[in-house]
Amino acid sequence: MELRQLTFAMAVAEAGSFTAAARRCHLSQSALSTQIAQLEAELGVRLFDRTTRRVVLTEAGRLFLPTACRIVELADELRAQMSAHAAGALRTLRVGSTQTATRVLDLPAVLGNLRRRHPGARITMTAGPSTELLGAVADGSLDIALAGAVSPPPDPRLVFHPLSSPEPLVAIAPAATSRAETGSATLAELAASGPFIEFHAGSQLRTTVDALFRDAGLHREIIFELGQITDVARCAAQGLGTAVVPRAFTDGLDLVDAVILEIEDRPALTIGAHTRRSDRTAMVGAVLELFDNPGSR
């Protein structure tokens, strides 16, 4: 089965005529008929019913056509990607990332590997809250936003690609917190442990943490609102208050009168890439491939 035979079959299905399809494919009608016959023989089915007035798809043909179209489409995408790569013409990749995504995905390492694999590429990166980044992808200002999953999806033009296992949220709390010795705490115990240190309002992490306590019918006092999650974690590690952060931000913390606790409801963030549904550029595909194949990083 050859790619051109799939293309010929698509042309016949669209034109509804071997004569019109032959003109479109720049073939004689007999040559086109021969190619379709060879394809049908290889597949072991008849793709078209031929009448004196029109050619129509058989049941097998209707099953065949969508997959054939997708194969041809993928082949066209592959040609475009390889042509761009060979010409050193992979365009700029504009990346946006939240603080959590940058830490969880080890984004500098991923982008460094992308640069080594595509030395002609230009990569730009910006950090910000997920709402701003997703809006920038939707309007075309960014190619890809690395952030947590959002439910419901904020824009029908966007598609989400999960890139890691769910990232647990953990608590950094005063060592005197009830049941601290067990290594875990409930939301109610955390709310009772004292004032809270939080990431700034409007961020996805803050929205998630607020929802956890609100849905549990719990109030917490907030004394610090900071712009960096690392600062949130470090302040909590010094015993200045309780914080709920992604586990990745607790690595290497110097704990002073504080402990790291699992939250019994086990909340987590799913980190991934938000792209436009219509975007199939080579650079976006290249960065997603790195995440799909961790061994290539």
Query: Could you tell me if 115 and 161 lie in one domain?
Result: yes
pTM: 0.66
Query: Could you tell me if 14 and 141 lie in one domain?
Result: no
CATH number at residue 65: 1.10.10.10
Here the contacts of 291-296 (C-beta below 8 Å, separation 24 or greater) are 291/105, 291/110, 291/161, 291/163, 291/164, 296/113
Query: Could you tell me if 31 and 161 lie in one domain?
Result: no
**Among 170, 178, 151, which Cα is nearest to 229's?**
170
Query: Could you tell me if 46 and 29 lie in one domain?
Result: yes
Beta strands in the chain (DSSP E): 48-50, 55-57, 93-97, 123-127, 144-148, 158-162, 167-174, 184-185, 196-199, 222-226, 243-246, 258-263, 268-269, 271-276
Q: Are 187 and 263 in contact (CB under 8 A)?
A: yes
Query: Could you tell me if 133 and 154 lie in one domain?
Result: yes
Task: Count the domains in the chain.
Answer: 3
Query: Could you tell me if 123 and 197 lie in one domain?
Result: no
Query: Could you tell me if 63 and 109 lie in one domain?
Result: no
Alpha carbon distance 289, 161 (integer Å): 11
3-state secondary structure of 197: strand
Q: What is the per-residue pLDDT across 152-187, written as a single tens digit (0 to 9) for each?
A: 777 888 999 999 899 999 999 998 887 778 899 999
The two three-digit tokens of residue 282, written as one number: 């080579």
The two three-digit tokens of residue 79, written as one number: 């040609």
Query: Could you tell me if 121 and 173 lie in one domain?
Result: no
Query: Could you tell me if 185 and 137 lie in one domain?
Result: no
State the SS3 of 42-100: HHCCCCEEECCCCEEECHHHHHHHHHHHHHHHHHHHHHHHHHHHHCCCCCCEEEEECHH
Task: State the DSSP code for 11.
Answer: H
Domain final residue pick, 86, 101, 126: 86
The residues, any chain, with a CB within 8 Å of residue 166's CB and separated by 6 or more, are 268, 269, 270
Supply angle C-alpha 138, 144, 148, rounded to 5: 90
Residue 293: what pLDDT?
A: 60
CA distances from 287 to 14, 102, 127, 166 (A): 36, 14, 17, 20
Strands 93-97 and 123-127: parallel
Domain final residue pick, 86, 104, 126: 86
**Among 258, 186, 194, 246, which Cα is nearest to 220's?**
194
Query: Could you tell me if 174 and 254 lie in one domain?
Result: yes
Query: Could you tell me if 120 and 198 lie in one domain?
Result: no
CA distances from 110 to 13, 115, 118, 286 (A): 44, 9, 12, 11
Which residue ranges in the chain fall short of pLDDT 70? 83-91, 280, 293-297
The two three-digit tokens of residue 134, written as one number: 């997703």
Domain final residue pick, 29, 61, 86: 86
Query: Could you tell me if 36 and 180 lie in one domain?
Result: no
CATH number at residue 228: 3.40.190.10
Domain that includes residue 144, residue range: 93-165+271-296
